[in-house]
Structures are given as structure tokens and as C-alpha cells.
Amino acid sequence: MKLKGTFSPPGDKSISHRIGLLSLLAGGQTRVGNYSTCEDCQTTLKVVESLGVRLERTGGDVVLHGLDRKLSPKNRELDCGNSGTTMRLIMGLLAGLPGEYSLDGDASLRKRPMERVAAPLRLMGARVETAGGKPPVTVAGGDLNGISYTLPVASAQLKSAILLAGVQAGGKTTVVEPIKTRDHTEYMLRLCGAKLERSHGAWTVEPARLTLPKNFWVPGDISSAAFFLCGAAMTPGGDVTAERILLNSSRTGMIEVLYRMGARVEEEIQGDVPEAWGRVRVRHSPGLKGCEVAPAEIPLLVDEVPILALLATQAEGDTVFREVGELRVKESDRLDAIITQLNAMGADISIKGDDLYIKGPTPLKAVAGLDSFGDHRIAMMLKIAGVVAGRETAVAKEESASISYPGFYQDLRALLR
Ligand code: S3P
């Protein structure tokens, strides 16, 4: 079995969430092309609609009429579904607005840490309550003061929540980021007219009135593209090209690791609006070598660790991902899922402390009883593992792929030869 052909993944999930959420803070209207069709981003649209945003869908575009911070809530109980990004970012956003809101989600979201977001928002003056650090969360916002805050975890969601509160505060807010994480919120706040400055790993935002850009286009999601790109590297005859995908350097850690392992990668940046985007081709890459992935690289590929771990099972020697403890609190315990499911297929993966070790190469065999634990990225990784094993594998709750990539199975069928 091999993967061959060209595909375009859905619009980037992180960027889609952000343009959707910014319609609450900013005035004006925006026509968004290629807004992600994934379930998580549709959750964000439902939430902003329930807070008063008028939304039209025309010819595949989404038109959002910004509220300029004047919410008219139809509902104060907001269902964030499976989406951590929706919940964490909206916590920051609501912290600067009057009224009390309660935020909840599905069983997976209810297990995820929210105290990390609540703590800085309280320092800014909002009242935020969590249920033992987890959802449901209550936010009662209003006048905020600016703060200077050093992130205790390398999380773009946490950084974004503070910046979205900070742009509404009475003074400057500085977020110190010991390890660089994705910077879409910064790009997009600037695009909407905010003043943001970066110096020595710290972002400072000034209070500002925001306006949506008239037109906005979302490049394809590199985190979705990763499954087929890595899949092509592992399968004889593989040759896959992802078109019009996001290539912002805070998201391309996976491509760097592919190069380091000796994969045959060609990358072409074709534009830089709203952020760098272009084409990536990966061909079957015999002789892949294991490598070390340093802590500072993890946020640049955090969602790609499952598929890169699979890739490492096919590489010669040891691969280690350093300090990946955050993967325990994603949509599932991804470290446990990677180890149990891939080892059941014949891999040799272990964890020491927060470091993930993979010894390769190990042939993989298709086995019965694989489980995604309802986690979209584990489901897609295991389907690609099936391709590597040479047989279609059934994976429990594989429909969860639509959380980030609704067309995954269609694209898989089209690329599979
Ligand atoms: C995201 C940031 C990452 C990532 C998630 C999306 C974002 O989470 O795993 O899928 O859009 O900011 P953390 O920032 O919590 O690591």
C-alpha cells in the first residue's frame, strides 16, 4: 500500500478559531475564505453566534459581522464541545467584558487543565472559577488591569488568552514566553489594529479598539497535512504533495524533523498573507535515521508528535522527543495512546520521565482492537499506521478525525494506491 497524489487539507484550525473569536472583540465585517470545516471550528462559530455575531455562509466563505465588544448573548452557557482552543481563548476574551458566562464541554474537555488560564486572568481582575482546575468554568469579566506574566507552560492557548484579555485592559500587558509557541494571535491582533511588540521572548500588547480585515483567507492546516506527508515518507512508492498549506515557522517543526531524519522533502513558500503558506512534497524516504527533538522544538510540532512517533518506528536507531509531558493533557493522554497502540502493532516505544523514546526500525503488523480513545490525531495516526502495516486497520472511534479533518477518510481513499 502506498500514498500518492496531491491534496488540500482544510483551513488551519488555529487560525480559523482566532478569526472567529476576534469577531467578538473587533468591529467591521470580514469575509473569510477557507474557514476550517472541522467540528472544533464549527463549535467556535456556534459560540460566537450565540453571543450575537451575525454570520452568513456564501459560496464556501464565512462572513462575520464583528461585535466590537458589544455582545448580545442569546445564551450565557457556552458549549465548547471537544475544543480546548475555543474554551481557553474565550476565557481571556470574556474576562474583559461585563456579564457572567459559564463554559463547558464534552467528557474529554472536562478532563483538561483550565486553572493555568484562570490564574493570570484573576491577576488582571476577572472573577474566574473552575471545577477543581477543570471545566465547567465561570468567567465574570469587566475592567482589567494590565499584567506582566511569565508562562509556566509553553502553551499558545494560554498566551493567547492573556493577550486577548490584555488588548482590553487598562494598561499594557506583557507575556513572557520562555519557549516560543505558535504566534497566530499576535499576527491577527496586529491585523485588526492592535499594537504588539516583541522583545527577548516577551510580547507586549497595548489596549486597542479592533477592526476586522475586510477579507481574510485561511491557509490549509499543516497539522492535518502531516498525516499524509509523513505517511508518504514511510511507504515504498509514496509521493504526496500538500497544496496551499500554512508554513509559518512556529508550525513547521514537523518539516524540520523530516529533514533531520533524512526524508525526501521539497518545500516551496508561495505567499505570506496572512502568514507564510505554500506547497510541500514528501516522497518515500528509505534509510530514515532516528533523531533527537529538543524541548524548544516541541511547541512547533506539538500536534504532530503522534504521527512523528509513528515515523520514528520506521527510522534506524533511537528517536527521542524531550519534555513532551503536555501530551498527557491533550484530547486524550496521547503519550499513553502512542505507546499502547503502536507497541500493540509491534513498535518499541517507551517513556522515561517526560521524554518519549522510540527504537526503530520495527515492522508494524495490523492488529485488531486498536483504539483512538476518541482523539482525532490518534485516530488518523493509527489509520496511517495501518497503511504502513499494509492492511486497512479498524480503529475504535475513528470518526473522531472530523474534529480537525472532516475529509480525512475521503482524502485517504483518494491517495491510497
Ligand atoms: C493550539 C495550541 C496548542 C495545540 C492546539 C492548538 C492553538 O495547544 O496543541 O491543538 O491554536 O493555540 P497548547 O497551546 O495548549 O499547547
Tallying the residues shown for the chain, one arrives at 417
- CA 349 vs. chain centroid, Å, equals 24
Nearest to residue 213, comparing CAs of 196, 188, 195?
188
Closest ligand 1 atom to Cα of 404: 10
Q: What's the average model confidence in pLDDT over 389-409?
A: 97
What is the reported pLDDT for 82? 98
Beta bridge partners of 245: 220, 278
Active site residues: 303
Q: What's the average model confidence in pLDDT over 110-131?
A: 98
Q: What's the average model confidence in pLDDT over 10-20?
A: 98
Asked if residue 227 lies in contact with residue 44, where contact means CB atoms within 8 angstroms, the answer is: no
Nearest to residue 173, comparing CAs of 147, 193, 138?
147
Backbone φ, ψ for residue 337 (5° rounding): -65, -45
How far does the centroid of ligand 1 lie from the alpha carbon of residue 286, in Å?
A: 32
Pocket test for ligand 1, best of 18, 155, 324 (most atoms within 8 A of CB): 155
User: Locate cell 492492511: which residue?
Assistant: 391
Half-sphere exposure in the Cβ direction for 36 (13 Å, CA) = 32
How far does the centroid of ligand 1 lie from the alpha carbon of residue 162, in Å?
A: 14
What is the reported pLDDT for 340? 98
Return d(Cα 366, Cα 152) in angstroms, integer. Answer: 40
- What sections of 137-240 are H helices per DSSP? 156-166, 184-191, 222-234
Mean pLDDT for the chain?
A: 98
Pocket test for ligand 1, best of 80, 87, 157, 248 (most atoms within 8 A of CB): 157
Grid cell, residue 164, equals 486577548
Q: What's the average model confidence in pLDDT over 277-292?
A: 98
What is the reported pLDDT for 32? 98
- Compute CA distances 36 → 32, 75, 262, 332, whole Å: 10, 24, 32, 22
How far does the centroid of ligand 1 lie from the alpha carbon of residue 329, in Å?
A: 11
Q: What's the average model confidence in pLDDT over 340-367?
A: 98
pTM reported for the whole predicted model: 0.98
The one-letter code for the residue type at 84 is G
For the segment 136-182, what is each residue's pLDDT rounded down to a tens digit?
999 999 999 999 999 999 999 999 999 999 999 999 999 999 999 99
What is the reported pLDDT for 406? 98
Residues with CB under 6 A from ligand 1: 14, 85, 155-157, 160, 181-182, 302-303, 326
What is the reported pLDDT for 223? 99
Nearest to residue 18, comparing CAs of 188, 162, 239?
188
How far does the centroid of ligand 1 lie from the alpha carbon of residue 85, in Å?
A: 6
Torsion angle of alpha carbons 77, 80, 85, 89, nearest 10°? -10
Grid cell, residue 31, equals 469575509
Percent of the chain, pLDDT > 70?
100
Q: What is the DSSP string of 300-353?
A: GSGGGHHHHHHHHHTSBEEEEE---GGGGGSSS-HHHHHHHHHHHTT-EEEEET
